[in-house]
């Protein structure tokens, strides 16, 4: 009976930890959250923002909080469902506004409607892989310096309009030697990751280095186990992300 109670208490977060090894899913191994995790408070409004990794096939016609098809099938859905179960008494509202293909300028263009208007108290942003990727596959003109400047523009507006918001900045990641990602991505893509880290530091945000999360995952299985193309996640990869993200909160 005690073993069963312990299993139920761990819930979704514990299931994958058993499957892949708890060393892969301890966010304290990766994150600046060691210095202080974000507390989930009653009536918090939590917003996931980003590109296709956050979008994950969500129904964009459904803008409601806490509804399954509004979240898609990625890490945001897994993290949100766990939070809603774990903190059932706190009356949380959780939204997903990720849109496939987005870069930072796209976020800037829709920020009033898709972020500010929702008045989030906890805001998680994962953006950057397309800011680099489009320079390779579409001839877009962009640099890590531009990416950083645009990101700061986005956050300046955010902090002006939502001065009390708690920020989570998620590092864009790429798993090498899986379909679209190869050696030609590096070291240029790494410069975007460094820019993202610097932005998180400057704005005193909690930083989640997803590259380290996946690099550690590679010790358990190969890149194709975690991602479909080096960027978009499998079921296992989505849960790996969700676990690391959930580890930032208390």
What would the pLDDT profile of 186-216 be if each residue is shown by its tens digit? Answer: 999 999 999 999 999 999 999 999 999 999 9
Measured on CA atoms in the order 47, 52, 55, 56, is the torsion positive or negative? negative
What is the pLDDT at residue 36?
A: 67
Higher pLDDT, 17 or 210: 210
Average pLDDT over residues 50-67: 97
CB 162 within 8 A of CB 120: yes
Domain total in the chain = 1
Q: Which of 45, 43, 244 is nearest to 162 (CA)?
A: 45
- Give the pLDDT band of residue 137 (cuts 50, 70, 90): confident
Q: Which of 79, 94, 85, 81 is nearest to 25 (CA)?
A: 79
Average pLDDT over residues 151-176: 98
Q: What is the tens place of the pLDDT at every residue in 72-125?
A: 999 999 999 999 999 999 999 999 999 999 999 999 999 999 999 999 999 999
Q: In angstroms, rounded to a whole number, what is the distance separating the alpha carbons of residues 162 and 57?
A: 28
Q: What percent of the chain has pLDDT over 90?
A: 83
Instruction: Collapse the DSSP code of 227 into the 3-class scheme (helix H, G, I; strand E, B; otherwise coil) and give the result.
Output: strand
- The whole-chain average pLDDT of the chain stands at 89
Chain centroid to CA 162: 20
Q: Is 250 exposed, middle or buried (0-12, 13-18, 19+ CB in 10 A)?
A: exposed
Q: In angstroms, rounded to a whole number, what is the distance separating the alpha carbons of residues 193 and 208?
A: 11
Close Cβ partners of 175 (under 8 Å, ≥ 6 residues apart): 181, 214, 218, 223, 226, 227, 230, 231
Q: For residue 169, list its beta bridge partners.
A: 125, 207
Close Cβ partners of 53 (under 8 Å, ≥ 6 residues apart): 74, 75, 98, 126, 129, 231, 232, 233, 241
Q: In angstroms, rounded to a whole number, what is the distance separating the alpha carbons of residues 107 and 209?
A: 21
Domain encompassing residue 161: 2-246
Q: In angstroms, rounded to a whole number, what is the distance separating the alpha carbons of residues 167 and 190?
A: 22
Instruction: Collapse the DSSP code of 162 into the 3-class scheme (helix H, G, I; strand E, B; otherwise coil) and give the result.
Output: coil
What's phi and psi for 131, nearest 5 deg?
-60, -35
Domain with 203 in it: what CATH number? 3.40.50.1110
Higher pLDDT, 106 or 36: 106
Instruction: Collapse the DSSP code of 168 into the 3-class scheme (helix H, G, I; strand E, B; otherwise coil) and give the result.
Output: strand
Structure tokens that stand for 13 in this block: 């977060």
What are the CA-CA distances from residue 211 to residues 127, 148, 218 (Å)? 13, 18, 11
């Amino acid at each position: 009976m005690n073993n069963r109670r312990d299993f139920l208490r761990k819930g979704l977060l514990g299931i994958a930890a058993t499957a892949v090894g708890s060393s892969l899913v301890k966010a304290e191994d990766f994150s600046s959250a060691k210095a202080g995790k974000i507390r989930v408070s009653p009536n918090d409004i939590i917003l996931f923002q980003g590109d296709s990794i956050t979008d994950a096939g969500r129904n964009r016609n459904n803008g409601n909080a806490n509804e399954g098809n509004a979240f898609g099938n990625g890490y945001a859905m897994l993290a949100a469902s766990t939070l809603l179960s774990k903190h059932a008494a706190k009356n949380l509202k959780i939204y997903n506004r990720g849109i496939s293909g987005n870069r930072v300028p796209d976020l800037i263009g829709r920020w009033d409607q898709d972020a500010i208007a929702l008045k989030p108290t906890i805001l998680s942003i994962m953006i950057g892989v397309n800011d680099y990727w489009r320079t390779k596959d579409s001839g877009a003109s962009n640099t890590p310096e531009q990416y950083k400047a645009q990101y700061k523009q986005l956050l300046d507006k955010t902090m002006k309009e939502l001065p009390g918001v708690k920020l989570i900045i998620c590092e864009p990641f790429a798993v090498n030697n899986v379909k679209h990602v190869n050696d030609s991505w590096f070291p240029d893509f790494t410069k975007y990751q460094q820019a993202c880290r610097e932005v998180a530091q400057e704005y005193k945000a909690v930083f989640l280095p997803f590259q380290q999360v996946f690099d550690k995952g590679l010790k358990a299985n190969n890149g194709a186990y975690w991602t479909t193309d080096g960027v978009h996640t499998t079921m296992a990869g989505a849960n790996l992300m969700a676990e690391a993200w959930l580890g930032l909160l208390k």
